Amino acid sequence: AQKITQTQPGMFVQEKEAVTLDCTYDTSDPSYGLFWYKQPSSGEMIFLIYQGSYDQQNATEGRYSLNFQKARKSANLVISASQLGDSAMYFCAMRGDRGSTLGRLYFGRGTQLTVWP
């Protein structure tokens, strides 16, 4: 089974600063994918970034980058130059290639990010 742990219930960051949201995972699958989603107060889960377990380089998407440390089983999200609109709940999720239901994502409990001016 897959397990995702997000240990930061809440994080605060000043506008224009960088922030790191932590995520650790546990799986026995040889191949897996790691995802980060953003959930504003409106409720929709917005896909941000993906990292494959066999990817050699850390994923980047605009202001988002994923600090992937496979040996430590961590996949932290780094948001650079924070904006007020980044205030939201952030979820780390994963899926594996064995045994899991088709397409099933396993989610952490999330981190509430607040960006202040």
Residues 40, 46: contact at Cβ < 8 Å? yes
Distance of CA 59 to the CA centre of its chain: 11
Q: Which residues pair with 11 in a beta bridge?
A: 113
38 binds another protein (CB under 8 A): no
Task: Give phi and psi for 21, each to the nearest 5.
Answer: -105, 130
41 binds another protein (CB under 8 A): no
96 binds another protein (CB under 8 A): yes
User: Among 77, 95, 111, 115, which residue interacts with another protein (rule: CB under 8 A)?
Assistant: 95
Query: 31 or 114, CB closer to another protein?
Result: 31
Of 17-25, 62-70, 76-84, 102-110, the window that binds another protein (rule: CB under 8 A) is: 102-110
Residues 107, 6: contact at Cβ < 8 Å? no
Minimum distance from CB of 12 to another protein (Å)? 19
Q: Is the dihedral of CA 36, 53, 3, 12 positive or negative?
A: negative
Binding footprint of another protein on the chain (CB under 8 A): 4, 31-33, 35, 37, 42-47, 50, 52-53, 91, 95-98, 101-110
